[in-house]
Amino acid sequence: MSIDFSEINYLQDPDIMSLKADYDQFLLSISGPTIIDISGKEQSRTRVITTLIHGNEPSGLIAVHRWLTALKAGDRPATNLRFIICSPEAASHAPMFQHRYLDDGMDLNRCFGAELEYGYFKRAALIATAIREVKPEVVVDLHNTSGFSPAFSVSVEKNEMALSLTALFCQTLILSDIRLGALMEQDFGCQTITIECGSSCDIQSHEVAYSGIKHLATITDLENCHFDKEIDIYLKPLRLQVKPGIPISYHGIDEGRNGLTLINNIEQHNFGIIRANQILGWLDSYGLENLQVLDVNGENVVDQYFALRSNQLVSKIDLNIFMATKQLAIAKSDCILYLVANQNHITQ
C-alpha cells in the first residue's frame, strides 16, 4: 500500500453525513491521519484524544464515533476537543482491525520524538505538531491491550491530573520510566496519559473508552475527579522479552520445544499476583539466556525476577504482571509481558 506520509486531514464539527452510518464506513472514508475538531463551550481550552496508533486496537475509534454521532445539535463539550485518528491505513487493511501496522511498515508508537523526517517518523512528527498547535490542557491516547486484561492507564509521572484522568476511565495507574518512542512519553506542556481499555475482543473495552470520553468532554475541572475513587498504582514496570531469533510457543505441558514455551493461560494472570516459585513456562537447554529484562540502564536483570527449576521458568519473587499476550507477533517483536515487583504496588 502506497502511503503519503505528508498527509493529514481536518474535519471541523462534522455532520452526520461526514461521519457515515457506522465506524467501519467512517474509517473506510478517510485516506490518512484525520483530525476531528469539535467546538466547545470554552473556546480557550482544548483537550486532545488520539486513537488507532495501532490498527488492531479499535476501541478508541468505536467510542469516538459513538460519541460524535450521539452529539445532539446545540450540545457542546466543556472545552474544545481534538480527536486524532492516527493509522487508518493499518486499521482498514483487510481483514479490518487485525493489523498492528502494515507488513512493510513500522510501529508508529515507537517513532515519536526521533526528529527523523521520513516515513512513519514523519507521521509521528505531524501528529505531535497537530497536538502542540492547540496547546492542549490534557492528551489522552486510547489503546487496547494485546491480551485479555482489565483496563488501566500509563503515565510517566504521578500528579493530580494523572490520577484524575485515570479515574475517568479505570482505577489502575502504571507509572513507567520505560522510553520506547511512544506518544505518551512526549512533552506537550500538559499531562499526557495512555489508556489501555482492555482487549479489542471485549465489548466492555469499547464501553470503557466511550464512558471516559463522555466524562472528559463534560467535566469542567478535571483535577478533582479522583478524590472519590481509590487508584491502584504500580511503579517501575519492566518488560520480559525473548532475545532476537528465539522461538516462542504456548502449551499446557512441556513438550521439549526450542526456545520458550509459555503456559497457555498466561493472559489470565494479568493484574494478578504471580507468587515466588510459580511456573510460567519451560525453557530449552539455554535456559535464562533466551530471555531479557532490561532495566533503565539497559542491563539485563532477568535473574533478579525469574529463575530455573529444572527447565521450568518460575518467578523468583512475587510479581504483578500485565499486558501478557498470546499474540505471537507482539510477543516476539515487542514483549511477552510487563512486570512489577509486588512491593511496588500501592493504593491511593
What structural domains does the chain harbor?
9-234 (3.40.630.10), 238-347 (no CATH)
Output the CA torsion 247→263→324→318 (10° steps).
-120
**163-167, 237-241, 275-279, 326-330: which range is least confident on average?**
326-330
Among residues 186, 228, 195, the alpha carbon closest in space to that of 213 is found at 195
Question: Does the pLDDT of residue 228 top 80, yes or no?
Answer: no
In one-letter notation, the amino acid at residue 201 is C
With cut-offs at 50, 70 and 90, classify the pLDDT of residue 348.
low
In one-letter notation, the amino acid at residue 231 is I
Other C-beta atoms closer than 10 Å to the C-beta of 344 total 15
Question: Does the pLDDT of residue 166 top 90, yes or no?
Answer: yes
pLDDT tens per residue, range 28-56: 999 899 999 999 999 999 999 999 999 99
C-alpha–C-alpha distance, residues 38 and 83, integer Å:
8
Half-sphere exposure of 22 (CA within 13 A, CB side): 2
Listed in order, strand segments (DSSP E) in 52-119 are: 79-85
C-alpha–C-alpha distance, residues 220 and 152, integer Å:
23
pLDDT tens per residue, range 268-303: 999 888 999 999 999 999 999 999 999 988 999 999
The pLDDT value recorded for residue 96 is: 95
Span 317-330, mean pLDDT? 91
